Structure 1
Amino acid sequence: MTRPFRRRRNRRACAPLSIYDPIHFGIDENGLPVEVTLMYRNLLDGGEPGSGKSSLLNTIIAHVALCSDARLWLFDGKTVELGLWEDVADVFVGNNIGHALDKLRELQAEMDMRYRQLHAVKRRKIVRADGLDVIVCVIDELAFYSVTIGTKEEQEEFRTLVRDLVARGRAAGIIVIAATQRPSADIIPTSLRDLFGFRVAFRCTTDSSSDIILAVGWAKEGYSARNIRPEDIGVGFILAEGGIPRRFKAAYLTDAQIEAVIATALRMRGIDPAA
């Protein structure tokens, strides 16, 4: 059957990874590796400032940057949290709500176009053999774009677009990774949280904040990120659909290691890192 999908961009054959591969997140309490396959899943990453959210984001972005079949769309309200990755991002949005909305609308249009293509060939989702780039959209941080910057109308449109992408994007090869240091009901309503297949809670100040990320009731069962000690940076709970929270220590990349990954990713794209 002829598939009408656009083929992925030409990248060097040395690309070591695929977005369909598991991503190494860290190790659990027993020293066993924690690996997550994000294809067809979205991820919510929350916790207080300095708790380890950025470490996990860097690990995910590093994997995606080295994939031959994925594109990076980065939204960074501070511009410095994800700024190191700008050279390997296909889209980089800083603290401009207008730019953020333009790019989310563009991503929504891409999603709708892909669903039209799937409908044309009577398929439910894209697969590796289609040769279509998966788009990984990383947003850090949700609260900046949804309650801090812009008008109320712009904030509402941002929330609506993100919710639509999280709800419908997976099968079309659009994955959303959203992070927040303000896990509250106004930032992460239940209707949005429950759409994320993976949820990660790093240290939170209250049981309710932990439950807002993982789901109401887990704190009473003994899975509360409030109980993580402040000095245990990078320790959190990861919850997958249908599972129970698993305590783990997130992998950490130094700036030098990030720069090495970026250099490799640039060479994959035919760009001289020293240029």
Structure 2
Amino acid sequence: GRLLGRLRHWVFDGESKPVRMNARDRNDSEVYMKLREARNEAVRRRMAPVMVGLVVLLAIVYLAITYVTPFWNWTVLVSAMTLVGWWGAPADKPVAGRAVDGVKTPKLTSDAIVSALGSLGIGELNKALAKKPDAIGFPNPIQRDGDGWRADIDLPLGVTAGDIIAKRQELSSGLRRQIGCVWPEGDAKIHEGRLVLWVGDRDMSKAKQKPWPLAKPGATVDLFKAQPFGTDQRGRWVEITLMFASMIIGAVPRMGKTVSLRELLVIAALDPRAVLYAFDLKGTGDFAAVAPCAHAYGVGDEPEDIERMVAEMRELREEMRRRIKVIRNLPESVCPDNKVTPELAARKDLRLAPIVVAVDECQVWFEHKEYGEELESICTDLVKRGPALGIITILATQRPDAKSLPTGISANAILRYCLKVQGQTENDMVLGTSQYKNGVRATMFARTDLGIGYLAGEGDDAKIVKSVYKDATDTKKIIAGARARREAIGNVTGYAAGEEVDVEAARLDPLADTLAVFQRGEDKLWSDVIVGRLADLRPSQYGGWTAQNLATALKPKGVKPKQVWATDPETGKGANRNGYTRDALTTAQNNGQ
């Protein structure tokens, strides 16, 4: 057998395979074809003598068996060799050992669980076991559940599922299983002391994931329907519905946050109608593979990059306002719920196709000295009002805190995906208030649990999900098909179509423009008068601005609105309203210089 294996490796030129595969992976078709032709020529040269040799060998064996040695001699020889081989084999290296199933783990028993829980060092638990050995209850039999074992456990009085979840690493040691196989969860629907323990046959982070259905050639997506996002501990697909929702993704660095966000962008790209805004503030180009389908694409945090993104987000804010007017003016028979429907999204005349905005490392925006407050205001508005208008906002950060995820955003996001985080505050910032207390703790994930997190908002309960990993090469293949389908329906716009962004729009100086609308002799103006004049001054930039927009734009300049006495230009009557004085604006401008 070994001889035949070596012979096959030589005949089919196995030595050159790594070189050929390397050329293929580098997409170097010229080198690959040359190597392939050389290999085929070598195989042709080597195949002929080998075939002749095998025929001769088989003929010799056949003649020897038939005419030289009687059959019974062969029988005795083979039997004797078998007996001698069995008798002479070393005791620790048998010729044939017992069949071993290397995948199936030993049965999970109640004794093993009680022993493991008792080793966690939880005071109340140990006291209860000392008084009553059967203090830990098992309301249902321990049974197989997918590729693992499931145990429903009633913990002693005063011990919560969260106490056990916080010690997942110690629990895996007590069960003598890999940490990636041990998944404790709470079931608050029963009571706080109900623990659901699932112990898998394989480490979830290392187990081979089923082929992603959306990676098949020709796959398309309808964002109004649920799509496969990842698999749970049992290997079952978990779906996510992006439409009518905003989403937050949080994790410490290097846990798969960006890859998960890129997967969501790929899902959106597979809907030929969808308009994509992809912003990579980390600056590493992780979204470059999706760029051929993106209406807006930005990478990096240099001043010119931020200015371009600000211009695109202002454009998006105006698009949201346009959609509000369109929805408001549609008859009730066409739009009964005042939101975008699949039928409305399909109508090209209304231009209400889904818009997906993905921002990685969003804290870079919200902490920006010049544009931070404006970008926060735009994103908050999109998260609050955008979902009903077909605008889906997905924000990801490696620092889930109040600055990175402002309250107006974190409180209104429906979908949440939290990979490993460090503490309770970060956990609840991403997953929602009291989730840590309820036993949904992303702090339990290990550093090896790459791409694994809690998905909340899709159903009543948060689920542990492993997102789909597709590297840049695989992503490009999927996006190439998505791009072709977009070209077929004429939906390649913005960045993907090679259009330039009006960066000048991001370089506006609201303070200087506000001073410019003061006429001779006017020392005070109300805010609503100022925004009206700004809209006349630069309609494309200030059209639709409110007094609040003006206040947000001028606050970083060091000037805030206050009650001012001014005359109404139409009636000629004076009144006290929120506004600005020329002196305050001039002082702020001089201080800025």
TM-score scaled by structure 2? 0.42
Q: How does 1:182-193 map to 2 (within 5 A)?
A: 182-193=399-410
- Is 2:360 aligned against 1:146? no
The answer to whether the 8 A contact 1:23-1:60 is kept is no
Higher mean alpha-carbon deviation, 128-137 vs 227-236, is at 128-137
What do the CA deviations read for 1:166-215 (whole angstroms, capped 9, x no partner)?
Answer: 11011111110111111012211333212111011100111221111112
For the residues of structure 1 that align with 2:486 and 2:405, how far apart are their CA atoms? 36
> Is the contact between residue 15 and residue 67 of structure 1 (CA under 8 Å) also seen in structure 2?
no
Q: 1:43 aligned to 233, 247, 258, which one?
A: 247
2 CA distance for matches of 1:191 and 1:168? 12
Segment drifting more, 172-181 vs 257-266: 257-266
Deviation at 1:78, TM superposition (A): 2.8
2-side partners of 1:198 and 1:40: how far apart?
10
Structure 2 Cα separation of the partners of residues 33 and 265 of structure 1: 22
Residue 126 of structure 1 pairs with residue 340 of structure 2: yes
Matches for 1:96-135 after TM superposition, within 5 Å: 96-122=305-331, 123=335, 124-130=338-344, 131=346, 132-135=352-355
2:467 alignment partner in structure 1: 250
Whole-Å separation in 2 of the counterparts to 1:190 and 1:244: 23
Residues 146-185 of structure 1 aligned to structure 2 (within 5 Å): 146-147=366-367, 149=368, 151=369, 153-185=370-402
Q: Which amino acid aligns with 2:354?
A: V
Find the residue that maps to 1:244 and give its secondary structure.
coil
Secondary structure (helix, strand or coil) at the match of 2:326 reads helix
Of residues 157-166 and 251-260 in structure 1, the stretch that sits farther from structure 2 once superposed is 251-260
Greater share of residues in helix = 2
* Aligned twin of 2:264: 60
Contact 2:272–2:482 (CA<8 Å) still a contact in 1?
no
Deviation at 1:247, TM superposition (A): 1.1
Cα distance between partner residues in 2 of 1:81 and 1:68: 22
- Which of the pair has the greater relative contact order for Cα pairs under 8 Å at 6+ separation? 1
**CA deviations over 1:155-176 (Å, ceiling 9, x no partner):** 1111111000111011111110
- Evaluate the alpha carbon distance shift between residue 81 and residue 256 of structure 1 in structure 2; reply closer, same or farther with a 3 A threshold: closer
Conserved? CA contact 1:48–1:204, under 8 Å: yes
Offset from partner CA, 1:118-161 (integer Å, 9 cap, x none):
111143111111223211011112111111x4x2x411111111
Structure 2 partner of 1:6: none
Q: How many residue pairs were aligned?
A: 255
Instruction: State the 1:241 CA deviation.
Output: 6.6
Greater strand share, 1 or 2?
1
Give the alignment's Cα RMSD to 1 decimal. Answer: 1.8
Is the Cα contact below 8 Å between 1:15 and 1:268 reproduced in 2?
Answer: no
Deviation at 1:84, TM superposition (A): 2.1
Give SS of 2:453's match: strand
Q: Contact 2:272–2:486 (CA<8 Å) still a contact in 1? A: no
CA distance, structure 2, for counterparts of residue 262 and residue 110 of structure 1: 25
Give, in angstroms, the shift of residue 223 of structure 1: 1.3
List structure 1 runs of 4+ shifted beyond 4 angstroms.
Answer: none
Match in the other structure for 1:197? 414
Pick aligned residue for 1:136 from 344, 356, 365: 356
* 1:91 has 2:296 as partner: yes
Task: Name the CA shift for 1:242/1:252 in 2 (closer, same or farther; >3 Å).
Answer: closer
Matched, 1:234 2:438: no
Work out whether residues 19 and 69 of structure 1, in 8 Å CA contact, stay in contact via their aligned partners in 2: no
Is the 1:45–1:201 contact (alpha carbons within 8 Å) kept by the matching residues of 2?
yes
- Counterpart AA for 2:456: L
SS of the residue 2:487 aligns to: coil
Question: SS at 1:90's partner residue?
Answer: strand
Q: Is the 8 A contact 2:258 2:286 kept in 1?
A: yes
Corresponding residue of 1:23: 227
Distance in 1, Cα, partners of 2:353 & 2:398: 30
Once the two structures are superposed, residues 84-128 of structure 1 have per-residue CA deviations (whole angstroms, 9 ceiling, x without a partner) of 211221111233222122111111111111110111114311111
Q: Do 2:366 and 2:403's aligned partners in 1 also have CA atoms closer than 8 Å?
A: no
How many angstroms apart in 2 are the aligned matches of 1:15 and 1:241? 23
In the alignment, the residues of structure 2 paired with residue 57 and residue 129 of structure 1 have an alpha-carbon distance, to the nearest angstrom, of 28
Residue in structure 1 matched with residue 287 of structure 2 by the alignment: 82
**Deviation of 1:39 (Å):** 0.7
Task: Kindly state the Cα deviation for residue 258 of structure 1 after the two structures are TM-superposed.
Answer: 0.4
- Deviation (angstroms), 1:218: 1.4
Higher-Rg member (1/2): 2
Distance (Å, rounded) in 2 between the aligned partners of 1:240 and 1:187: 20
Q: Partners in 2 of 1:169 and 1:146 — Cα distance? A: 19
CA offset digits 1:211-263 (Å, max 9, x no partner): 11112221122211111001010110011177232111111112221011121
Report % sequence identity: 29
Secondary structure, counterpart of 1:167 in structure 2: helix
Output the amino acid matched with 2:278.
L
Amino acid at match of 1:138: A
Q: Per-residue displacement from partner, 1:53-92 (whole Å, max 9, x unpaired)?
A: 1221122111111112211111111341212211221111
In structure 1, the residue corresponding to 2:409 is in which secondary structure? helix
Relative to structure 1, the CA distance from residue 121 to residue 270 in structure 2 (aligned partners, 3 Å threshold; closer, same or farther) is: closer
Give, in angstroms, the shift of residue 268 of structure 1. 1.8
Choose 157-166 or 190-199, whichever is displaced more.
190-199
State the distance in 2 between where 1:186 and 1:53 align: 19
Aligned to 1:5: none
- In 1, Cα distance between the equivalents of 2:408 and 2:275? 27
Whether the 8 Å CA contact 2:383–2:413 is kept in 1: the answer is yes
Partner amino acid, structure 1, of 2:317: Q
